[in-house]
Amino acid sequence: MKRFSHILSILSFLLLVSLPAIASEEKSQPIDQSQQSVALLAPPLIAPYADNQTASRAIDRNISLFANRIKERFALYLSRSGKYIDVMQNILRNKEVPEDIVFLSLIESGFNPNAYSIANAAGPWQFIASTAKRYGLEINWWKDERRDPIKSTEAAADYLKDLYGMFGSWNLAMAAYNAGEGKIMRAMKKSNADDYWDLLGTKHIRAETQEYVPRFIAASMIAANPREFGFEEIDYSAPLSYDEVELEYPIDLAAAAECAGTTVEEIKKLNPELRRWCTPPDADVYVIKVPEGTGEAFVERLSTMSEEERFTIDRYTVKKGDTFKRISARKGIPVPVILSLNSMGKIMPLKQGSTIYLPPKDLYSLDQADRALIKKASYRKAKRSVVSSGKKKGAATAGKSTKSRKARKA
């Protein structure tokens, strides 16, 4: 009965998102509760796209993609969903967003908090940095809250709800989530469309956006009843569970693991937003997640640790001619990070022989975002070099040309 109810919930939502967008003068208003009730009860629930050949073909194509071409990978995504789906759906319900929009995370990242795209989008909801910051997610050298499954879901729900307010349609809201609201607005204006399906087949949205909603619907249908689509035995991960502990000082993840009686890897899995060897030193209070049932023992064990045991830091003796910028370039550590570790609000002259704190070289390592930034900087440097070389060559050629003209004139 529980599975049947869940399937009905999925299908009801699919019917809801398939309805045409409401009239333009009503687009900024949520659907009336009475209208929504009628929509959910309207038949046929099992075939909401039967009369829309464009939609049906697109959905069937993506069902084939998931159930045939990438079946093994999609089965992994489904198994991983067991860890996050309950907590994410609860957040969506509380934010008054249809709970089955949770399956956007299925097609965005396969419910992987550590997913990182070539477009520098990160986390289970694949936020780019600018949108993430707009919706309250912190991104700095120490942490990336796009990777926090709780905070990123709250941000995604807020963003999707805003998009629904703009377009009056969950289909268009999801398309805008993929392409950006500006692109969808322009596409609708150019094509005189007021429905997502009318945009398919036009040149006004990218192929990726044309596949996005059909892909979401296909993934949702399979997730609701995997056996029907050939996924026989999905080994779902256990639901996410943990205790939370407030920290008023930074600690190493190794120290956290010791206090919780677990591994560093498990601490990282519970706190995927953490990018370094420790909790953020610049946070007045940081809430760390530890395995369920270990919170009290964690606090008790941590209280017996000295500062040196719980937090590792390197000490660097300032040499003649050292500046923060030179140390930053030599050590590969951003200046703001060095300042925060040394409780400095701004760059100040360094005194030879004094000691400053730096991240421990044996514990500090590059993550995906670091590597992406280095690659981007390298590309820009190479591009500048090519441009500069071209300008010099052009200037030299111009000079020779002038001399030749003068010689001919003489």
For the stretch 126-159, pLDDT in tens is 999 999 999 999 999 999 999 999 999 999 999 9
For 314, list phi and psi in degrees, rounded to 5. Answer: -95, 150
Q: Are 213 and 175 in contact (CB under 8 A)?
A: yes
Tell me the torsion sign for CA atoms 272, 276, 278, 284. Answer: negative
User: pLDDT tens across 325-357, in order?
Assistant: 999 999 989 999 999 899 888 888 999 999 999
Q: Cite the beta strand spans of 242-393 per DSSP E.
A: 242-247, 286-291, 314-317, 355-358
Give the model's pLDDT for residue 89. Answer: 96
CA 301, chain centre distance (Å): 34
What distance, in Å, lies between the first and last C-alpha atoms of the chain? 99
The mean pLDDT value for 355-373 works out to 87
- Dist. CA 59–CA 219, nearest whole Å: 9
For residue 138, indicate whether it is catalytic. no
Give the model's pLDDT for residue 383. Answer: 73
What is the pLDDT of the chain when averaged over all its residues? Answer: 85
- Record the tokens describing residue 235, joined without a space: 């080994």
- Dist. CA 231–CA 270, nearest whole Å: 28
Give the model's pLDDT for residue 394. Answer: 61
The mean pLDDT value for 77-92 works out to 97
Query: Considering the entire predicted model, what is its pTM?
Result: 0.82
Residue linked to tokens 């360094």: 350
User: pLDDT tens across 166-190, in order?
Assistant: 999 999 999 999 999 999 999 999 9
Cα-only R_g, the chain: 27
pLDDT bracket for residue 34 (50, 70, 90): very low
- Dist. CA 203–CA 148, nearest whole Å: 36
Lowest mean pLDDT among 73-82, 97-106, 342-351: 342-351
Tell me the torsion sign for CA atoms 57, 59, 60, 66. Answer: positive
Neighbours of 229 (CB within 10 A): 18
pLDDT at 19 over 60: no
**Set 108, 145, 154, 273: catalytic member:** 108
Whether omega for the bond prior to residue 334 falls within 30 degrees of 0, making it cis, is no
Q: Which residue has the higher pLDDT, 387 or 88?
A: 88
